[in-house]
Structure 1
Amino acid sequence: MKAFTIKVIALILITLISISVQSQDFQGKAYYFSKSKMELGKWGAKLSAQQKKQIQERLKNRLEKTYILTFNREESIFKEDEKLDAMSGATDTWGKNFTPGSQYKNVKTNTLLQEQEFYGKKFLIKDKLQELEWVMGSETKKIGNYTCFKAVSVLPQSELNWWSFSWDKLRVKEKKTDSIAKEITINKPSNIDETIPLAQIEAWYSPQIPVSQGPLEYWGLPGLILEISVGDTTMLCSKVVINPKDKTNIEAPSKGEVVSKKEYQSIILNKMKEFRDNRGRRY
């Protein structure tokens, strides 16, 4: 562990000299490619290989995405690099309701601000940064020109993709609500939350870029996170530009109805429940 610590410090010192990260105008851009596996559940078991392939092609815009993280020593903006659908020639309007909007992080003030649009209404999610307890190891690998170290953490699955929606989330919420109601009715303490499903997070960070930033809500390591794997999704950095010629003004977003992550989740679930009930509860 001592040798590992010395190695990390040496990499940081070398990088501080070479890229002048302490300068006031320091800025960087990291480009990420995200790929997710398609989960079709029980319904998918009834489909042929050809049908699955066709669905995967149609959902490519949702399964494969590119993002840009613009960062300095304290702040970052994470945005999707939107592309036109190869089949329709348009952006994925429906999918945008359940994908992450532009996200601002400030590691100094522990602030998260994220723009979300849900069926035409704009929201500004304001919350604290995700709390992550990293376990750092000595295992290394190269990503591009950067030496990266492995770190792992765990997070409740309910905290992942909080901006998104699935009918399963609604079913689980309704099942839990019904169970709590039954427990109260028969005057027994509820033990529904005894076990919390956890998701494992694997990150690869480089001390050669000594900023505590990363894609989405991942942060808190002594170097930029260049690769992150959670569940069926892997996000890999394809390019890093330090001190680009054309600087980007990193500004905290300010438009939209201000709500917390928990409040936003409740709004989505209630609206989708209303949508389902109006259509005869077919989901």
Structure 2
Amino acid sequence: MKSQFFRMFLVCLCTAFSAHVFAQADFHGQAVYESKTTAEMPDFGDRQMSEEQKKRIQERLKSMYEKTYVLSFNRSESIYKEEEKLESPTSGGRGFRGLDMSAGAKYKNIKTNEVIVDQEFYGKQFLIKDSLPKLVWKMENESKQIGQYTAFKATAVKLASQTGLPSFGGPRRGEDSKENKEEDNKPKEVIVTAWYTPQIPVNQGPGDFWGLPGLILEVSTDKTTILCSKIVLNPKEKDEIKVPKKGKEVTQAEYDQIVKKKLEEMREMRGNRGPGGGGRR
């Protein structure tokens, strides 16, 4: 009970300190996030690879799974975009082993309960429009310092994406592909751990995450961790929050089915090029 009272006291204290910033009529800000995902080396079966080949693949995986994003926000809206970087000669471009999936801007509006994503997939432009994914947050009695901000812990449970990157190596030797496919299609629940600060009293956060009484500074789910590395409140050069408008309009469920179908086609193509198969003629 004492810990709960102490937590509420800290929340109120942090909110009071930030009131003068948030009270401005044109309140806005920017937060920079670093995203890292733990990725295992693809399974290439019996194929012998040199250390140089393994190093190149690891570099390409790193470029895919370590990203920098910028979240521009105001009282009710935000836009979350990947920071543009020049490709290195060995980066391999936008995809890996034929996967052409370029993430675009993610717009969230708390007032209208709307999320709009500008998404390119295999040369086609999609405009994903849906309601904001809602998580049931549980407030935990833990806090820590992230930079100059006091952050509080919250947890939730969500379903993992069913359309993530494909298994590069396909079914492992000795495993039944039908069983693997059935296992992959089972909904998987993952724990989301977030750290938010009432010192910036907006209900925003990186990616799909939002709905806490303060800006989310850190979030971990499954194998991915997203950490805020920089915050600028009311910058002189304001980043305009533009609603994405280009692309074929689909819901999130419709887009998931499009991606799922394409990934299944890719798996079948790899299977047809298996040992001794030589592909279709």
Are the equivalent residues in 2 in contact too, given 1:98–1:165 (CA < 8 A)?
Answer: no
Deviation at 1:52, TM superposition (A): 4.6
Q: 2:241 aligns with which of 250, 266, 270?
A: 250
Higher mean displacement: 90-99 or 108-117: 90-99
- Matched residue of 2:36: which SS? strand
Equivalent in the alignment of 2:34: 33
CA RMSD of aligned residues (A): 3.1
Does residue 66 (structure 1) correspond to residue 68 (structure 2)? The answer is yes
The letter for the 2-side match of 1:13 is A
Are the equivalent residues in 1 in contact too, given 2:95–2:101 (CA < 8 A)?
Answer: no
Equivalent in the alignment of 1:166: 166
Query: CA 1:9 to 1:99, structure 2 compared with 1: closer, same or farther past 3 Å?
Result: farther
Deviation at 1:248, TM superposition (A): 1.6
- Matched residue of 1:33: which SS? strand
Q: Give ranges in structure 2 of 5+ residues lacking alignment.
A: 172-176, 275-281
Q: 1:241 aligns with which of 216, 232, 241?
A: 232
The letter for the 1-side match of 2:209 is Y
Deviation at 1:198, TM superposition (A): 0.8
TM-score normalised to the size of structure 1? 0.81
Deviation at 1:120, TM superposition (A): 1.6
Are the equivalent residues in 2 in contact too, given 1:26–1:72 (CA < 8 A)?
Answer: yes
The letter for the 2-side match of 1:57 is E
Does residue 216 (structure 1) correspond to residue 207 (structure 2)? The answer is yes
Deviation at 1:101, TM superposition (A): 1.7
Equivalent in the alignment of 2:277: none
| Deviations 1:193-232, CA, capped at 9 Å, x for gaps | 9x84211111111110000000000001111011111111
The letter for the 1-side match of 2:260 is L
Say which structure is richer in helix: 1
Are the equivalent residues in 2 in contact too, given 1:79–1:102 (CA < 8 A)?
Answer: yes
- Matched residue of 2:152: which SS? strand
Deviation at 1:29, TM superposition (A): 0.2
Equivalent in the alignment of 1:134: 137
Deviation at 1:85, TM superposition (A): 2.9
Higher mean displacement: 84-93 or 3-12: 84-93
Equivalent in the alignment of 2:104: 101
The letter for the 2-side match of 1:7 is L
Cα distance between partner residues in 2 of 1:53 and 1:259: 39
TM-score normalised to the size of structure 2? 0.81
Q: How does 1:73-92 map to 2 (within 5 A)?
A: 73-88=75-90, 91-92=93-94
Q: 1:55 aligns with which of 51, 57, 60?
A: 57
Are the equivalent residues in 2 in contact too, given 1:156–1:198 (CA < 8 A)?
Answer: yes
Equivalent in the alignment of 1:12: 15
The letter for the 2-side match of 1:38 is A
| Deviations 1:229-273, CA, capped at 9 Å, x for gaps | 111111111100000001121121111111011100111222333
Query: CA 1:37 to 1:82, structure 2 compared with 1: closer, same or farther past 3 Å?
Result: same
Query: CA 1:268 to 1:153, structure 2 compared with 1: closer, same or farther past 3 Å?
Result: same
Equivalent in the alignment of 2:119: 116
* Count of residues in Structure 1 that have an aligned counterpart in Structure 2: 261
The letter for the 1-side match of 2:228 is C
Are the equivalent residues in 2 in contact too, given 1:82–1:91 (CA < 8 A)?
Answer: no
Equivalent in the alignment of 2:174: none
Equivalent in the alignment of 1:125: 128
Equivalent in the alignment of 1:262: 253
| Deviations 1:46-91, CA, capped at 9 Å, x for gaps | 8889465442112221021100000001000000002123333774
- Matched residue of 1:59: which SS? helix
Are the equivalent residues in 1 in contact too, given 2:166–2:263 (CA < 8 A)?
Answer: no
Cα distance between partner residues in 1 of 2:120 and 2:85: 18
Cα distance between partner residues in 1 of 2:24 and 2:100: 39
Are the equivalent residues in 2 in contact too, given 1:122–1:256 (CA < 8 A)?
Answer: yes
Cα distance between partner residues in 2 of 1:96 and 1:7: 47
Query: CA 1:45 to 1:219, structure 2 compared with 1: closer, same or farther past 3 Å?
Result: farther
Q: How does 1:172-191 map to 2 (within 5 A)?
A: none
Are the equivalent residues in 1 in contact too, given 2:115–2:131 (CA < 8 A)?
Answer: yes
Equivalent in the alignment of 1:186: none
Query: CA 1:47 to 1:99, structure 2 compared with 1: closer, same or farther past 3 Å?
Result: farther
Are the equivalent residues in 1 in contact too, given 2:194–2:220 (CA < 8 A)?
Answer: yes
Deviation at 1:141, TM superposition (A): 1.2
